């Protein structure tokens, strides 16, 4: 039995399992490794098809999963849940963060999977002055109004697979960054979703029991399985009570909900990349709904999710001083970075 200790946003986590199974987790979280002894720690046992999480208060949860890319998703969801469990004042957004070593300004790159976050992150690092502070998840302390470091290993898609960038970008002494020093870049990438027919409530989870299936069927939901995960699509007509009942049953049955929330059912059609990048400064009213859509909803049943209206208002308070940029990548990644840096330079006087 091997083990791997790491610290994320002030929470200590110990992973245990055989060396082969742990290798993927060690790749992802190597920059967070620690040998510090903690009095309070979360214990996670990783097996080829299951994760068991013993939380710092002694309570235990178990989740079925698959290996490879989907294990990465499940581990990411688990770490998000650890942060939310220990730090309820922290908001989690899907995105990358970089800091300019000369000015101290930061860029928050927010967008769907495949929108170009990691590609632009790499290009900005190659361009100089920019260093990564958070990969794939932005952990923002609402009380201190700070972006907390999340130095996960960087990965990029290569012909549909995942290629890990391990030691290419050493992170050094990464410190929290004030939200007041952040500029928010909202990416609309080549895999941006295309509306199909109607909005629905989508749940991705690692297992579906008979009770969950029965509750979903009573709400008129469609259930299917993709790549080892289960997906439940609730129709537009589903009521709030029906959604709440389904989430309650998921919690009682110990099913890890990797993602849940109102979103458009999409066909992820690969759209042609425009010949030139489109980058422009935007206002908060058109940007905050996109920021809210990127929120990561961790599975912590003891801590109910903030209502959508309250969450939107909290985002408005958090980013009231931030500048927003909308960007559609085009041409080469270098072209997009040049256009992005030009707009950022004009909006905040940095380069």
pLDDT digits (tens, 9 = 90+) for 271-287: 345 568 888 888 887 88
| Same structural domain, 108 and 183 | yes
Q: Is 339 exposed, middle or buried (0-12, 13-18, 19+ CB in 10 A)?
A: buried
Question: Does any domain span residue 257?
Answer: yes
| Same structural domain, 65 and 22 | yes
pLDDT at res. 265: 46
- The residue range of the domain holding 37 is 2-87
Question: Does any domain span residue 283?
Answer: no
pLDDT at res. 330: 77
Cα dihedral angle (152, 5, 258, 272), rounded to 10 degrees? 20
- C-alpha 145 chain-centroid distance: 19
- C-alpha 146 chain-centroid distance: 17
* Other beta carbons less than 10 A from residue 151's beta carbon: 20
Question: Does any domain span residue 80?
Answer: yes
pLDDT at res. 268: 36
pLDDT at res. 209: 85
Where residue 97 sits, what CATH number does that domain have?
3.40.50.300
pLDDT at res. 81: 87
pLDDT at res. 153: 76
| Same structural domain, 248 and 232 | yes
- Degrees to nearest 5, angle at CA 63 with 61 and 69: 140
Helices (H), the chain: 19-29, 69-86, 117-127, 210-218, 240-253, 284-293, 308-318, 333-348
For the chain, give the mean pLDDT.
77
pLDDT at res. 263: 57
Work out how many domains the chain is built from and give that number: 3
Under-70 pLDDT residues of the chain: 65-71, 155-173, 189-200, 226-229, 258-259, 261-275, 299-309, 345-351
How far, in Å, CA of 178 to CA of 298, rounded? Answer: 23
């Amino acid at each position: 039995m091997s083990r791997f200790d790491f610290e994320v946003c002030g929470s200590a986590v110990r992973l245990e399992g055989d060396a082969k199974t742990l290798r993927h987790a060690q790749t992802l979280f190597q920059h967070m490794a620690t040998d510090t002894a903690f009095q309070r720690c979360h214990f996670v046992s990783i097996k080829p098809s299951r994760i068991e999480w013993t939380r710092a208060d002694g309570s235990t949860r178990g989740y079925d999963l698959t290996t490879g890319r989907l294990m990465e998703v499940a581990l990411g969801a688990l770490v998000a849940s650890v942060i939310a469990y220990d730090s309820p004042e922290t908001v989690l957004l899907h995105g990358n963060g970089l800091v300019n070593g000369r000015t101290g300004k930061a860029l928050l790159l927010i967008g769907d999977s495949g929108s170009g976050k990691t590609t632009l992150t790499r290009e900005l690092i190659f361009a100089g002055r920019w260093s990564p502070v958070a990969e794939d998840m932005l952990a923002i302390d609402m009380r201190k109004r700070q972006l907390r470091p999340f130095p996960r290993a960087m990965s990029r898609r290569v012909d549909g697979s995942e290629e890990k960038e391990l030691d290419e970008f050493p992170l050094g002494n990464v410190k929290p960054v004030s939200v007041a020093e952040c500029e928010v870049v909202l990416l609309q990438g080549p895999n941006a979703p295309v509306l199909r027919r109607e909005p629905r409530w989508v749940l991705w989870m690692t297992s579906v029991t008979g009770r969950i299936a029965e509750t979903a069927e009573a709400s008129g939901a469609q259930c299917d399985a993709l790549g080892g995960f289960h997906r439940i699509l609730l129709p537009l007509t589903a009521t709030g009570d029906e959604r709440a009942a389904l989430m309650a049953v998921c919690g009682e049955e110990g099913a890890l909900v990797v993602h849940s929330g109102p979103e458009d059912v999409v066909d992820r059609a690969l759209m042609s990349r425009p010949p030139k990048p489109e980058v422009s400064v935007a206002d908060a009213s058109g940007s905050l709904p996109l920021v809210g859509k990127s929120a990561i909803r961790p599975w912590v049943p003891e801590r109910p999710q903030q209502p959508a209206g309250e969450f939107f208002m909290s985002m408005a308070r958090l980013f009231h001083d931030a500048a927003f940029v909308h960007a559609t990548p085009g041409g080469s990644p270098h072209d997009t970075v040049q256009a992005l840096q030009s707009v950022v330079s004009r909006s905040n006087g940095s380069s």
